[in-house]
Amino acid sequence: MALTQPSVNCSLDDIDLNSLKDPAGIFELIEVVGNGTYGQVYKGRHTKTGQLAAIKIMDVTEDEEEEIKLEINVLKKYSHHRNIATYYGAFIQKSPPGKDDKLWLVMEYCGAGSVTDLVKSTKGQCLKEEWIAYICREILRGLSHLHANKIIHRDIKGQNVLLTDNAEVKLVDFGVSAQLDRTIGRRNTFIGTPYWMAPK
């Protein structure tokens, strides 16, 4: 039984983090594979099917609840594109009083690592032009899909572009993405990874 993508009809108001299921017995963590905007990312496994998944674990704080809901919403609605890591679901691991609960955001596992990992593996050699062209084209297809739906990613960098074992290119980490509404054509907030930000 493969993990399935949930319904895309959801708004931020519809997301009740407290009503999410506990991940115990559903997913198990295997190893840390990276860090996202708001949490660590693990390679995990669905306990019944054995299917691998990427599991981002974040503290649920009042300050970050809006960003967490936004990331869930963006993934639910727009991860049906071949260049966006597929969203499988969200879970809450309850913590003792006085400590933050942990949100488990479960997505498609991309076993070949990030574009940053790929560049580092060349050990100072240049990537082939065909690889660069292919990766750029796939990134642009993913961004085009997001932009057509009035979503801006705001943190495109090598670490947020992942590769599957079949060399598919997937955008991840929507923790700082933004929805443009019909009346505001531009976001004036300063968000993203400074070294990778466009000068505009």
- Binding positions are 56
Annotated binding site for ATP: 56
Burial class (CB in 10 A: 0-12, 13-18, 19+), 4: exposed
Strands (E), 24-132: 27-35, 39-46, 52-60, 87-93, 101-108
Catalytic-role residue among 14, 59, 155, 173: 155
Structure tokens at 69: 């809901």
Q: How far apart are the first and last CA of the chain?
A: 46
Q: Is 14 annotated as catalytic?
A: no
**Residue with tokens 């596992």, as numbered in its chain:** 109
Beta carbons within 8 Å of 123's beta carbon, 6+ residues apart: none
Query: Residue 63 carries which side chain, given as an amino acid letter?
Result: D
Quote the CA–CA distance of 138 and 162 in Å, as a whole number.
11
121's tokens? 């593996």
Catalytic residues: 155
